[in-house]
Structure 1
Amino acid sequence: MKVSVDRNVCYGSAECAHRAPSVFAFVEGYGVVRSGQEDTGADPLVREAAEKCPSQAVLIDE
């Protein structure tokens, strides 16, 4: 499962980076998926980050 962050929707709460810092980073005011971590959508911490994202910018493509 692929995970991504929709930069058009993200408003920079950094919630994803706090919940799953090994997968997400906070760069230039936005959450981003770290290089090489795009296939971690099944990880429970990534799923939690997607559910708790206040702007719903974290996307998991099943």
Structure 2
Amino acid sequence: MSEPTLESIGDYNTLKGEKKRIVWAVIIAGIIIGVIYSISYKVFDDSEESIKTQDEIIVVPMSQSIPVR
């Protein structure tokens, strides 16, 4: 079984029929999922409830590394 060539692919220049509907369905599903995610991100935003921390690790000394067991 060999791989198809460009000449043997029936819809090389344009998609037709069921394949075209599948492509559009995937595009529309992606847009819908993106819109749902954006709306839920705005509605359920927890930024005001999060705990702010100011601890920053500046330098980790090499002599105090954690031993591997």
Identify the structure with the greater strand proportion.
Answer: 1
TM-score by length of structure 2 reads 0.20
Between Structure 1 and Structure 2, whose CA radius of gyration is higher? 2
